[in-house]
Amino acid sequence: MSIPIKTVVPRQIDTIKMNPEIISLVKEYFTELSEPSLQEEIAKVGVIREFKEGEIIMNFGSFVTAVPLVVKGSIKVVREEEEDNKEVLLYFLNAGETCSMSFSCCMMDKRSDIRTTAEDDSKIIAIPIKHVNDWMSKYPSWRNFVMRSYDSRMQELVKTLDSIAFKKMDERLWEYLLKRSKAHHSNIIHSTHQTIANDLNASREAISRLLKQLEKKGAISLERNKIVLL
């Protein structure tokens, strides 16, 4: 993530003061990171960042300087297709999760091929990439956390590919609405038809038609820039 972070010299970490809020957030949302020394390091080098709804957190082509530990809100992750400049929704990040795509960019020292956007007001703990790599060999719980994150996202990406390849657009739309509802912890989705069309790589007209069909079936209620799942 392109987040300005003060560089920490390794030998000075022991003298850095811990942020008690970060310790509390890690214990609440990332219970698997249970090693006290790891929690302390996160509290020393991590930076709390907050983003407003709709704010771009990381954009295409930017260098990844940190990985996020999400502690509040929901973050949308999309990938850009190089050939036609269209975007494809990959997944949503919620509290207690991290972005595995950010890990891969960090480890390979490459520019980001994804964009992350705050779906609603969100808060993260940004971990500088220097420590992301160091902790892989230093802390078993961190290594397991990273690998489980990769596995979870890989399964989700496979489901996304299966959906695009084998499912009809009405099925993809319904799954999308359920995912957004889960991400927001609400049955009310604030979105335009065009935004949904962009996420599903479809035309706005097709999405509007399918939403009308879902409304006729009693599955949703359509309001201005708002969809209510019934």
Closest CA to 3 of 70, 54, 48: 48
Distance CA 230, CA 218 (A): 7
CA torsion sign for 172, 179, 65, 109 is negative
Nearest-Å Rg of the Cα atoms of the chain is 19
Q: What is the mean pLDDT of the chain?
A: 86
Judged against a pLDDT cut of 60, whether residue 209 lies above it is answered with yes
> In CATH terms, are 10-163 and 167-229 the same topology?
no
CATH 1.10.760.10 given to domain 167-229: no
Q: Where are the domains of the chain?
A: 10-163, 167-229
Name the fold adopted by 10-163: Jelly Rolls (2.60.120)
Tell me the mean pLDDT in the region 4-30: 75
Instruction: Give the pLDDT confidence of 100-148 residue by residue, as tens digits.
Output: 888 777 777 778 888 999 988 999 999 998 898 889 999 999 999 999 9
Distance CA 35, CA 129 (A): 20
Nearest-5° Cα angle at 10, 149 to 7: 80
